[in-house]
Amino acid sequence: EPEVTQTPSHQVTQMGQEVILRCVPISNHLYFYWYRQILGQKVEFLVSFYNNEISEKSEIFDDQFSVERPDGSNFTLKIRSTKLEDSAMYFCASSLREGAKNIQYFGAGTRLSVL
Amino acid sequence: DQQVKQNSPSLSVQEGRISILNCDYTNSMFDYFLWYKKYPAEGPTFLISISSIKDKNEDGRFTVFLNKSAKHLSLHIVPSQPGDSAVYFCAASGSNTGKLIFGQGTTLQVKP
């Protein structure tokens, strides 16, 4: 069964460093998303991406964050200068369509630890 | 952001019995609702969904009920199995957006 793949599973970084989280969405999906879950809190939407551009972003997704689809398979989330509060599980998701019947399929996540 | 709420942080049921997980929402623009299951160290796994034009959707042991007037949905699992033990998230979306708004999750424990 097709699945969303995320690497690495755990990333440890120093505050102020740049990190890139990688995702391979399901191959025929057109919409891509990043969510995060801070320990003990809800899963929160960060950004959605369609047709090589951001279609929606949350307040969390500030200038320190960027997304890219560098080739036909990868979808990345970059955090330019990490802060302690960026420590969280980051989930990538993909879907075939948006709006009604928008079933998003999630990867296993990357645990980001900022020290 | 309290648009989607799951007021019960945990639920414990006996194997073979019914599990009922509840979810409330406040935004009347939501028109699609999903339930996800999550095991530790894994991502959310899609379980079942329902469109706002329906009041019930069934898939095997899982049934989701939607009460639009009460802005309430519930997930019924019958019969419950120990492998169902996980965190269950309710999520909602609107037709003009792709983002999912999640509830806090309910941890279900099914005892053998």
- What is the chain A residue with the closest CA to B93? A99
Flag whether pLDDT at B97 surpasses 90: no
Residue A2 has pLDDT above 80, yes or no: no
Q: Please judge whether B98 and A98 are an interchain contact, meaning their C-beta atoms are less than 8 angstroms apart.
A: yes
Those residues whose C-beta lies under 8 Å from the C-beta of residue B84, and which sit 6 or more positions away, are B19, B37, B77, B108, B110
Q: Residue B1: its pLDDT value, please?
A: 57
Q: Which of these ranges, A34-43, A71-80, B94-103, has the smallest mean pLDDT?
A: B94-103
Mean pLDDT in chain A?
93
* DSSP designation for A44: E
Query: Mean of the per-residue pLDDT values for chain B?
Result: 94
| Chain B residues whose beta carbon lies within 8 Å of the beta carbon of residue A55 | 98
Whose tokens are 């492998």? That residue is: B83
For B:35-64, CB contacts with A below 8 A are 36, 41-46, 49, 51
Q: Output the pLDDT for position B2.
A: 74
What confidence tens digit (pLDDT) does each residue in B29-60 have? 999 999 999 998 889 999 999 999 999 999 99
CB proximity under 8 Å: B 79-98 to A = 89, 91, 93-98
Q: What is the mean pLDDT of residues B16-36?
A: 95
CB contact under 8 A, A100 and B102: no
Would you state the torsion angle of the CA atoms of residues B107, B79, B92, B94, taken in this order, to the nearest 10 degrees? 170
DSSP string, A15-29: TT--EEEEEE--TT-
Q: What per-residue confidence (pLDDT) applies to B70?
A: 96
Q: Which residues pair with A80 in a beta bridge?
A: none
pLDDT given at position A99:
63
pLDDT band at B96 (very low <50, low <70, confident <90, very high): confident
Q: In angstroms, what CA-CA distances link A23 with A37, A68, B6, B10?
A: 16, 10, 29, 31
- The closest CB to that of A42, out of B51, B96, B104, belongs to B104
Are the Cβ atoms of B32 and A109 closer than 8 angstroms?
Answer: no
User: How far is C-alpha B110 from the geometric centre of its chain's CA atoms?
Assistant: 16
Query: Which chain B residue is nearest to residue A57, measuring alpha carbons?
Result: B99
Query: Which residue type, as a one-letter code, is found at position A95?
Result: S
Residues of chain A with pLDDT > 70: what percent? 98
pLDDT in tens, A19-71: 999 999 999 899 999 999 999 899 999 999 998 999 999 999 999 999 999 88
The whole-number average pLDDT for the span B17-36 is 95
Mean pLDDT over B95-112 rounds to 92
* Residue numbers in A near B50 (CB within 8 A): none
